[in-house]
Amino acid sequence: MDISIPSSNKPKILITGANGLLGQKLVEQLVEEGGFEVIATGKGPCRLNGNGYTYQVLDITNPLEVDQVITRLAPETIIHGAAMTNVDQCELNQEACYEANVKATEYLVKAAEKVQSHFIFVSTDFIFSGNDGPYDEEAKAEPVNFYGETKLIGENLVRNAKTSWAIARTVLVYGIANDLSRSNIILWVKSSLEAGKEIQVVDDQVRTPTLAEDLAAGCILIAKQKAQGIFNISGADVLTPYEMAMMTADYFGLKKELIHKTDSTRFTQPAKRPMKTGFVIDKARKELGYKPKTFQEGIAILAKQIILASS
Ligand SMILES: NC(=O)C1=CN([C@@H]2O[C@H](COP(=O)(O)OP(=O)(O)OC[C@H]3O[C@@H](n4cnc5c(N)ncnc54)[C@H](OP(=O)(O)O)[C@@H]3O)[C@@H](O)[C@H]2O)C=CC1
Ligand SMILES: Cc1cn([C@H]2C[C@H](O)[C@@H](COP(=O)(O)OP(=O)(O)O[C@H]3O[C@@H](C)C(=O)[C@@H](O)[C@H]3O)O2)c(=O)[nH]c1=O
């Protein structure tokens, strides 16, 4: 069922993967700001709260559906955040990952070209090797897992698009939203420690963790300014997952003794993780006016949302 609101004379912005963590924050902020007519799309029923947007079912791996929805709605702007984001699942089920992250992006770019939408593609630090981060926008891509490979192919499809485009790259997104398909580091650490579970956390991988609200704000700055090119949209704090876990335990007053420091030789996952990533965000700060929260501020924001969600 599509939830529709009367169309307006505002420019249309279409969000793919709107039921996801980034998608929900994008819709929330766009509706709040009021500058766009917001079209939220996702596979299956709407899992968003609130109103002020139109929900349209859209499975981006269906080329016919993509063409019909995009050409009928002709959005001025598309923010394409939908993807298969479980990195280990991507390694183990490469066909599904390629469909969702590459073929779907191809269908969306083709449809965007027909209606000349400004196309904003959300990408990742996982396109890099992790040998020499943190990275600026000019760094050489060299993915170390299949998920990263598919996101890099997606980037290249977008860079060759015959319509205006931007790429918003981000890192280790954390936050809370409605009925999410996957967890994220703060929620996972908090729930493990509250359950009295011991966790092994690596201290040799480096990230610049990103509050979901900041990523959404960065994408909206790009949309409003119709900015073109590649922008690093992440947090500024350079931290290891172990440091993030300890800060999370500290903030929520949980038992730090349950957190055991380890390294990537002892803690392995099905898909290899790039060791040292993280982003230099000077370009987004200067050209977009992007201003991310600190990780500490991000935890506090999340804590308030968790209390709100449980009240
Ligand atoms: N999370 C992170 O740490 C990072 C994310 N990114 C990128 O940011 C973007 C958003 O990620 P995030 O919000 O965190 O991830 P989520 O997994 O929360 O959101 C992705 C959304 O895409 C949807 N989706 C998957 N397949 C399809 C499909 N065939 N048709 C329609 N929708 C589909 C999912 O639907 P459903 O909810 O029904 O499964 C989900 O809502 C992604 O492009 C990701 O690659 C980049 C760096 C870090
Ligand atoms: C589950 C787990 C993770 N970790 C570490 C590994 C990693 O550095 C960090 C996060 O691991 P996860 O597997 O939860 O998340 P991961 O799949 O690495 O997250 C990635 O998601 C995709 C979508 C991206 O685009 C990337 O930017 C990145 O955010 O925490 C541990 O140390 N111990 C653990 O038990």
Domain of 170 in residue numbering reads as 12-176+209-237+278-293
Q: Is residue 307 part of a domain?
A: no
For the chain, which residues score pLDDT lower than 70? 1-7
3-state secondary structure 3-47: CCCCCCCCCEEEEECCCCHHHHHHHHHHHHHCCCEEEEEECCCCC
Q: Which residue owns the Cα nearest ligand 2 atom 26?
A: 172
Question: Which atom of ligand 2 lies nearest, measured to the CA of 202?
Answer: 32
For residue 101 and ligand 2, the question of a CB distance below 6 A is answered with no
Residue 55: its pLDDT value, please? 98
State whether the Cα torsion 100-105-111-115 is positive or negative: positive
Q: Which residue owns the Cα nearest ligand 2 atom 4?
A: 201
* Best residue among 62, 85, 149 to mutate for probing ligand 1, ranked by most atoms within 8 Å of CB: 85
Question: Which atom of ligand 1 lies nearest, measured to the CA of 170?
Answer: 47
Question: How many domains is the chain built from?
Answer: 1
Residue 4: its pLDDT value, please? 59
Q: Is residue 103 part of a domain?
A: yes
Measured in Å, residue 19 CA sits from the centre of ligand 1 at 8
pLDDT digits (tens, 9 = 90+) for 72-116: 999 999 999 999 999 999 999 999 999 999 999 999 999 999 999
> Which CATH number covers residue 50?
3.40.50.720
Residue 6: its pLDDT value, please? 58
Measured in Å, residue 16 CA sits from the centre of ligand 1 at 9
Residue 36: its pLDDT value, please? 98
Q: Is residue 285 part of a domain?
A: yes
Strand pairing partners for 211? 174
Q: Is residue 201 part of a domain?
A: no
Measured in Å, residue 32 CA sits from the centre of ligand 2 at 31
3-state secondary structure the chain: CCCCCCCCCCCEEEEECCCCHHHHHHHHHHHHHCCCEEEEEECCCCCCCCCCCEEEECCCCCHHHHHHHHHHHCCCEEEECCCCCCHHHHHHCHHHHHHHHHHHHHHHHHHHHHHCCEEEEEEEHHHCCCCCCCECCCCCCCCCCHHHHHHHHHHHHHHCCCCCEEEEEECCEECCCCCCCCCCHHHHHHHHHHCCCCEEEECCCEECCEEHHHHHHHHHHHHHHCCCEEEECCCCCCECHHHHHHHHHHHHCCCHHHEEEECCCCCCCCCCCCCECCECCHHHHHHHCCCCCCHHHHHHHHHHHHHHHHC
Residue 8: its pLDDT value, please? 78
Say what the ipTM of the complex is: 0.99
pLDDT digits (tens, 9 = 90+) for 244-290: 999 999 999 999 999 999 999 999 999 999 999 999 999 999 999 99
Q: Is residue 202 part of a domain?
A: no
Q: Is residue 185 part of a domain?
A: no
Residue 241: its pLDDT value, please? 98
